[in-house]
């Protein structure tokens, strides 16, 4: 049951990571367009942070635990 | 390992992953968001995986038929892309379609082809590397500096080395002969003559003008003029003039557009439920399966970003008339011919290997669903030859591959997506088939209506553009009703 709960939470988290860029793009004062190291925050998040975090979350939470006989 | 590789190959079919750099280059952050959704959707699908149907459950033919429809649409999108790429590289359209289709059909006919999927994916990934390194070498900057340069350009202008400036190109190559809107005065020269039609603005009145140009003759178009589709001349543009169809500036490209919430929702539903529908049901999720999907998505997304940014930095003329995937398959940078042809070969190899892997994985996916026929449909050469023949014939007409791929994902989402999500107490197979049919009929009806009346805004426009937005909830509702009205299964007697 715990694996199922973890998996649902992981699915929701990955979905939230995917859904966030339009929200960042709609923030007031164009916060997403602020540049950090020459690149906009929106681009840093969508192009680098979100995919890396999603991959780590998936690797940590999605696999079934190994069987005892494995 | 193969389960993850197969799902990756099913999902990242070339019509989808080659669309990623085109979307990023064409739409900036809006396209990057789409690419992110495409890269991560398989992970959401994996986490939402439903239980496998019990062997004793009666099976209906509906899931097989629905998936075959979606697979046919995805093959159509891929073959249309192969045809577009052939035309862009100067070959006849049918040759690109026939080469890709025949190669994939031969591999699909081989029973043991499923074992080759991981190797084909690795070939595709490795073949993408050298052209990207060459493009970065030509640009002479790292990815971060390249992005910064693109985002600070005052306008995207024709470079003097562009083939549109040096020798000129046929206007019919521009995105199916799309109309070109001019933002500044521009002199067009027809080196071998031809016919140009333009909508020119004279005072307040627009008027259509047609020119029959002799070889070497020029015509001047002013800001606000539109070169109509159907112009047949090979033309040369002037260097350092703004590319018609390009974003107003690099800053505008980097900022993107304010989000259109209904369309964002429609796209997300189509992509996520499409991935859920194309993924398999049941079975253990191994760490290697997750690693394949996460790693493949990351590679595709990072490569697409770098390819898109370097491409528009070295060849802003890619924007002419709207950016499409096949244009990015032709190596865009100005380099010696030997390097260009080697890089193009690598890109074509990557696309071809990806298409082979995808075709085999789609066949395996359908075969896995066909439990009553013991997977016979996956080995039925007649069925597959028919599917490839129909998709190939349809691809002879130039169509937008991305629209067809979205249609395939939407059809899969509407017919199978809802049933895949129900895990703890599913409806009977007949109930699931009725719910899926309802979703598919709604999807098809809205898609046809969308062809008849396009251009709506707001939620209506989003539903017309992404019919899965209505079809998936409808199928889910029907499934819940079917589940509520189905008799509860008797508990099994405990063994003593």
Does residue A70 form part of some domain? no
B385 and B417 in a single domain? The answer is yes
Residue ending a domain, among B210, B235, B260, is B235
The reply to whether B467 falls in a domain is: yes
Task: Collect all residues of chain B within an 8 Å Cβ-Cβ radius of residue A63.
Answer: 285-287, 289-290
Chain A environment of B255 (Cβ under 8 Å) = 30, 33, 40
Q: Do A54 and B294 touch (CB under 8 A)?
A: yes
Q: Is residue A66 part of a domain?
A: no
Q: How many CB pairs under 8 A join A and B?
A: 111
Chain B residues within 8 A (CB-CB) of chain A? Answer: 29, 32-33, 36-37, 39-41, 43-44, 46-48, 144-145, 147-148, 151, 254-256, 258-259, 261, 264, 268, 272, 284-287, 289-291, 293-295, 297-298, 301-302, 305
Check whether residue B313 and residue B185 sit in a common domain.
Answer: no
Q: Cβ contact (<8 Å) for B297 and A55?
A: yes
Secondary structure letter of residue B279 according to DSSP: S
Q: Establish if A69 belongs to a structural domain.
A: no
Is residue A67 situated within a structural domain? no
Inside any domain, residue A54: yes
Q: Which CATH number covers residue B427?
A: 1.10.4160
Cβ distance of B47 and A8 shorter than 8 Å: yes
Chain B interface, best mutation among A28, A30, A40, by max B CB count within 10 A: A40
Q: Are residues B14 and B130 part of one domain? A: yes
The whole-angstrom distance between residue B35's C-alpha and the CA centroid of its chain comes to 10
pLDDT for residue B62: 86
Contact residues, chain B, for A51 at CB < 8 Å: 36, 39-40, 297-298, 301-302
Task: From chain A, pick out residues whose CB is under 8 angstroms from the CB of B289.
Answer: 63
Q: 3-state class of A39 per DSSP? A: strand
Residues 6+ apart with CB under 8 A from B262: B458, B459, B461, B462, B463, B469
Phi, psi of A40 (to 5 degrees): -70, 150
**ipTM score here?**
0.93
How many Å from the N-terminal Cα to the C-terminal Cα in chain A? 21
Q: Based on the fold, state whether residues B185 and B256 are members of the same structural domain.
A: no
Range of the domain at B299: 2-145+250-485
Give how far A9 is from chain B: nearest CA, Å.
Answer: 9
Of B177, B204, B235, at which residue does a domain stop? B235
Residue A68: inside a domain, yes or no?
no
* pLDDT bucket at A2, cuts 50 / 70 / 90: low
Of B222 and A4, the structure prediction assigns the larger pLDDT to: B222
SS (H, E, C) B227-270: ECCCCCCEEECCCCCECCCCCCCHHHHHHCCCCCHHHHHHHHHH
Which residues in chain B have Cβ-Cβ distances shorter than 8 Å to A47?
Answer: 32, 36, 301-302, 305
Task: Please indicate, yes or no, if residue A35 is contained in any of the structural domains.
Answer: yes
pLDDT of amino acid B198: 87
Beta bridge partners of B221: B186
What is the per-residue pLDDT for B147? 96
Q: Is residue B244 part of a domain?
A: no
pLDDT score of B216:
87
The H or E element containing residue B212 is: strand B205-213
The answer to the question of residue B158 being in a domain is no
Residues 6+ away with beta carbon under 8 Å from B148: A38, A39
Q: Answer yes or no: do B266 and B189 share one domain.
A: no
Residue at a domain's end among B235, B269, B289: B235
What is residue B285's predicted lDDT score, i.e. its pLDDT? 82
Predicted pLDDT at B176:
59
For the packed helices B287-314 and B117-139, what is the interaxial angle rounded to 10 degrees? 30
Is residue B323 assigned to a domain? Answer: yes
Residues of A in contact with B32 (CB under 8 A): 21, 43, 46-47
Instruction: Count up the domains in chain B and report the number.
Output: 2
Are residues B409 and B475 both part of a single domain?
yes
Is residue B178 domain-shared with residue B321, that is, in the same domain? Answer: no
Give phi and psi for B52, each to the nearest 5.
-75, 140
Question: pLDDT under 50 in chain B at which residues?
Answer: 56, 58
B427 part of a folded domain = yes
Signed CA dihedral, B250, B399, B195, B165: sign only: positive
Q: Do both B21 and B134 map to the same domain?
A: yes
Q: What is the pLDDT of residue B63?
A: 86
Q: Looking at the structure, tell me whether residues B323 and B215 fall in a common domain.
A: no
B385 is written with which tokens? 């030859």
- Burial classification of residue A65, based on how many CB atoms lie within 10 Å of its CB (0-12 exposed, 13-18 middle, 19 or more buried): exposed
**How would residue A70 be classed by pLDDT, with cut points 50, 70 and 90?**
very low
Question: What is the domain range of residue A51?
Answer: 2-61
Looking at the fold, whether B229 and B257 belong to one and the same domain comes out as no
CB of A15 within 8 Å of any CB in chain B? yes
Report the domain count for chain A.
Answer: 1
Say if B152 falls within a structural domain.
Answer: no
Task: Decide if A60 touches B, using CB distance below 8 A.
Answer: no
Task: Please give, rounded to a whole number of angstroms, the shortest distance from the CA of A52 to a CA of chain B.
Answer: 8
| Residues in a beta bridge with A39 | A36
Whole-prediction pTM value? 0.91
Q: Are residues B255 and B368 in the same domain?
A: yes
B82 and B185 both lie in a single domain:
no
Q: What is the DSSP letter of B330?
A: S
**Residue B144 with chain A: CB contacts under 8 Å:** 37-39
Q: What is the pLDDT of residue B277?
A: 92
Q: A53 CA to chain B: closest CA distance, Å?
A: 10
Structural domain contains residue B465: yes
Touching check for A26 and chain B: CB below 8 Å? Answer: yes
Q: Which of A18, A23, A30 sits opposite B36 (nearest CB)?
A: A18
């Amino acid at each position: 049951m715990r694996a199922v709960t973890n998996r649902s939470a992981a699915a929701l988290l990955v979905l939230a990571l995917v859904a966030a860029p339009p929200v960042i793009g709609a923030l007031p004062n164009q916060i997403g367009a602020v540049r950090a190291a020459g690149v906009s925050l929106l681009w840093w998040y969508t192009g680098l942070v979100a995919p890396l975090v999603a991959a780590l979350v998936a690797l940590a939470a999605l696999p079934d635990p190994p069987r005892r006989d494995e | 390992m193969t389960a993850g590789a197969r799902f990756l190959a099913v999902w990242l079919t070339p019509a989808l992953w080659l669309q990623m750099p085109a979307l990023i280059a064409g739409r900036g952050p809006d396209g990057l968001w789409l690419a992110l959704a495409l890269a991560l959707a398989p992970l959401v699908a994996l986490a939402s995986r439903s239980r496998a149907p019990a062997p004793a459950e009666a099976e209906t033919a509906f899931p097989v038929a629905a998936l075959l429809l979606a697979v046919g649409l995805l093959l159509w999108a891929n073959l249309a892309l192969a045809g577009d790429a052939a035309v862009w590289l100067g070959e006849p359209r049918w040759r690109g379609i026939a080469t890709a289709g025949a190669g994939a059909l031969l591999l699909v006919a081989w029973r043991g082809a499923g074992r080759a999927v991981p190797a084909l994916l690795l070939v595709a990934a490795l073949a993408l590397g050298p052209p990207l390194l060459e493009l970065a070498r030509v640009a002479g900057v790292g990815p971060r500096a390249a992005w910064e340069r693109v985002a600070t350009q005052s306008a995207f202008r024709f470079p003097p080395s562009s083939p549109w400036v040096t020798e000129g190109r046929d206007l019919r190559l521009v995105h199916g002969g799309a109309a070109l809107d001019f933002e500044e005065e521009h002199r067009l020269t027809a080196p071998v003559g031809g016919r140009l039609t333009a909508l020119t603005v004279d005072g307040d009145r627009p008027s259509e003008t047609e020119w029959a140009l002799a070889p070497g003759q020029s015509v001047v178009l002013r800001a606000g003029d539109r070169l109509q589709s159907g112009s047949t001349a090979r033309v040369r543009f002037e260097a350092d003039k703004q590319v018609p169809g390009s974003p107003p500036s690099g800053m505008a490209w980097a900022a993107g557009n304010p989000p259109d919430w209904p369309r964002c929702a429609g796209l997300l539903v189509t992509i996520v439920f499409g991935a859920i529908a194309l993924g398999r049901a049941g079975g253990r999720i191994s760490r290697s399966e997750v690693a394949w999907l996460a790693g493949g998505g990351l590679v595709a997304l990072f490569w697409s970003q770098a390819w898109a940014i370097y491409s528009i930095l070295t060849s802003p003329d890619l924007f002419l008339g709207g950016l499409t995937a096949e244009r990015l398959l032709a190596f865009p940078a100005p380099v010696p011919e030997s390097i260009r042809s080697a890089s193009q070969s690598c890109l074509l190899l990557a696309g071809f290997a990806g298409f082979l892997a995808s075709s085999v994985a789609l066949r395996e996916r359908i075969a896995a669903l066909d439990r009553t026929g013991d997977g016979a449909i996956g080995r039925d050469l007649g069925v597959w030859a028919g599917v490839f023949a129909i998709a190939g014939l349809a691809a002879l007409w130039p169509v937008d591959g991305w629209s067809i791929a979205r249609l395939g994902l939407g059809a899969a989402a509407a017919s199978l997506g809802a049933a895949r999500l129900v895990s703890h107490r599913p409806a009977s197979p007949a109930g699931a088939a009725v719910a899926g049919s309802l979703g598919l009929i709604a999807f098809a009806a809205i898609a046809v209506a969308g062809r008849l009346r396009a251009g709506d805004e707001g939620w209506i426009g989003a539903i017309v553009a992404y019919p899965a937005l209505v079809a998936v909830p409808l199928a889910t509702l029907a499934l819940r009703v079917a589940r509520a009205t189905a008799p509860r299964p008797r508990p099994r007697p405990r063994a003593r």
